[in-house]
Structure 1
């Protein structure tokens, strides 16, 4: 086969692969940026999916008020980023958002943050906490299309603070 023929065959294969991935993304057979987090089970950890839009979001382990949370979302705030936003596409599939919220234990003592949950642009829950405090939250998200998690730094705080959503998860119950 000629070099030109091989290149054409490779282009067709590449195009077919791209089309297949594109089709999976929009039919919901995979979860990626821009697709709804589909309830294949009755539980989904936000640390396991990518936000649709985000500032600086860390996923993984975090310790809050002496408790270890292996599947956490951490949003940092600083003088250059006083408000940090992460938005998730829910696709109207989920009923509850559950998490333990607080500041990561390695945040400076002066840190105070506000953690807010908004559904389809409307704030529905807000908690303000200092280092060493934590709260369990349960937010009804039935029928919501998008969920926005916002962490805002308290007034007069100059340090980098780590607002944490410990074990942040969506459920169908």
Structure 2
């Protein structure tokens, strides 16, 4: 009877030990196979390419090229296209032949021995021109031997004085910068009747 009891106790101890070993083994296996829930603190965002980015250009305001004031375009006009502001005998615009040369854009000044020996004509320049040019002379259809005195004034000041006879001509160039009024005076020097015409051939203003 005692032997049977001892045998049963030994068997129970063995079963208890074996059960503990099996339980430990099962727990050890679960700890190795289970998912790890430990966080490392690393970012979970997707990694981007490590290739260097192109340099960013900073916009700058465009510097305008230096400019110069626009100068007025070159202009010119013939006196034959202008109206005289003052005259004692109206000038005649048109073609004039002087010393054998034809000048299509001219002004003629007629003078007469008795009625009108002096012809004075003025033009308003408006201080808008710089140069005056013309060919002065007695027209070819005047009386042979005609002799005329040509005078030019700018704002009342004489700047040209020349006596020309039939068959003569003289180029005239004047600086008229800032001039308000340009005046021509043609005087007859002959002492007998005839046809006497002085002219400014192709008289024109420019700037």
TM-score range (shorter-chain normalised) is 0.7 to 0.9
Q: Output one character per residue of 1:32-65: Cα deviation in whole Å (capped at 9) or x when no partner.
A: xxxxxxx985111000111111223100011000
Counterpart of 1:113 (choices 132, 145, 148) is 148
- TM-score for both structures, normalised by structure 2: 0.62
Which residue of 75, 93, 101 maps to 1:67? 101
Instruction: Give the counterpart of 1:57 among 79, 82, 91.
Output: 91
Q: Name the structure 2 match of 1:42.
A: 75
Higher relative contact order (CA 8 A, sep 6+): 1
**What is the TM-score when the length of structure 1 is the normalising length?**
0.73
> Which of 157, 179, 184 in structure 2 is aligned with 1:149?
184
Determine helix, strand or coil for the equivalent of 1:97.
Answer: strand
SS at match of 2:80: helix
Which ranges of structure 2 fall in alignment gaps of 5 or more residues?
A: 1-71
| Cα distance change, pair 156–40 in 1 and its aligned pair in 2 (3 A) | farther
Q: Deviations over 1:12-43 (max 9, x none)?
A: xxxxxxxxxxxxxxxxxxxxxxxxxxx98511
1:90 alignment partner in structure 2: 125
Residue 159 (str. 1) matches residue 194 (str. 2): yes
**Structure (1/2) with the larger strand percentage:** 1
Unpaired runs of 5+ in structure 1?
Answer: 1-38
Q: Distance in 2 between matches of 1:40 and 1:89?
A: 21
Report the alpha carbon displacement of residue 127 of structure 1 after superposing the two structures with TM: 1.4
Candidates 175, 178, 183, aligned match of 1:140 = 175
CA distance, structure 2, for counterparts of residue 90 and residue 106 of structure 1: 30
Larger displacement relative to structure 2 (136-145 or 150-159): 150-159
Instruction: Give runs of aligned pairs for residues 119-130 of structure 1, distance below 5 A.
Output: 119-130=154-165
State the shift of 1:143 in Å. 1.1
- Shift of residue 155 of structure 1? 4.5
Cα-Cα RMSD = 1.5
Q: Which has the larger radius of gyration?
A: 2
Q: Please say if residues 112 and 157 of structure 1, whose CA atoms lie closer than 8 Å, have aligned partners that are also in contact.
A: no
Once the two structures are superposed, what CA deviation does each residue of 1:62-102 show, in whole Å capped at 9, x if it has no partner?
10000000000000010210100110001111111100010
The count of aligned residue pairs is: 134
**Contact 2:146–2:190 under 8 Å retained in 1:** no
